[in-house]
Amino acid sequence: MMSPCSSHALASTLPAGTIQLESTVTSIKQTEDEVTIELETGWSQAFTHVIMAIPPRLVSRISFHPELSETTKSKLADTPPWMAGQAKVLAVYDRPFWRDSGQSGQGMSWAGVLQEIHDASQPGGLAALFGFFRLSAAERLVFDQDELNRRVVDQLVRLFGEEARQPREVIYVDWSSDRHTATVQDGVPLTDFPVYEPIALDTAWEGRLSLAGTETDSLFGGHIEGALRAAERVVEQL
């Protein structure tokens, strides 16, 4: 979920071929001195150590040999990813017309479909209003995409005037339906910020398998900074 620019900058420092995109790990098996990962496609490769950097709840979709203990499985299942039930919408305009009347483009609402709105215009480029939803994943599903977009635009018109009526485009991305981010459980909105901390895997996997990812960082868990800190922590432990 990093911006394409920051992902590319990080990736460019790695030797060619290190990153394999569109590769879903389905199985992790331990042999005497190696760990073999297998992808959905059937491709497999052995490594001396494997670091998983995925939301803890998604670990249950991978089969392990030896199997993870029930205690570890419960701990993973009880650690929700932050904001995975969220969706973002971007209404794109030719120009930031709201600024003509001195409006910032920022808004907070407890009435419309969007709760938090920001001016996401690019300097010298297209203008846009961006919003996070007040509606939960289940509430969003009640509407088809056209109806949801219409409600978004209606709210922007109420806040910023009639010029908001005709966006060039409305772009909607819903993480709650992204199988590589969220589970069904994550559609239920979190009422409190979760307590995140490193998750130790079973002793049978010690020295072979680790879990990084933002949800294992006790200081900035849930945020990008937490993912970076977790990566450093796990690498230092190798």
User: Which positions lie near ligand FAD, rule CB under 6 A?
Assistant: 1, 23-25, 53-55, 58, 61-62, 82-84, 86, 88, 175, 180-181, 213-214, 222-224, 226-227
Helix (H) or strand (E) segment spanning residue 72:
helix 70-77
Q: Which residues contact 151 (CB under 8 A, 6 or more apart)?
A: 112, 113, 143
Centre a 10 Å sphere on the Cβ of residue 145 and count the other Cβ atoms it contains. 11
Instruction: Tell me the DSSP string of 70-130.
Output: HHHHHHHHT-PPTTTT-EEEEEEESS-GGGGGT--S-EE-SSSSEEEEEE-PPTTS-EEEE
Is the CB of 100 or the CB of 116 nearer to ligand FAD? 116
Shortest spacing between CB 95 and ligand FAD, in angstroms: 25
Cα Rg for the chain, rounded, in angstroms? 21
Shortest spacing between CB 211 and ligand FAD, in angstroms: 10
Q: Which residues contact 57 (CB under 8 A, 6 or more apart)?
A: 76, 77, 79, 80, 81, 183, 185, 186
Coil, strand or helix: which one is 22? Answer: coil
Is the CB of 58 or the CB of 92 nearer to ligand FAD? 58
Rounded CA separation 36/45 (Å): 5
Shortest spacing between CB 151 and ligand FAD, in angstroms: 19
Shortest spacing between CB 102 and ligand FAD, in angstroms: 26
Is the CB of 10 or the CB of 200 nearer to ligand FAD? 10
The phi, psi pair for 38, rounded to 5°, reads -125, 140
Shortest spacing between CB 103 and ligand FAD, in angstroms: 22
Is the CB of 97 or the CB of 172 nearer to ligand FAD? 172
Is the CB of 88 or the CB of 99 nearer to ligand FAD? 88
Is the CB of 50 or the CB of 58 nearer to ligand FAD? 58
DSSP 182: -
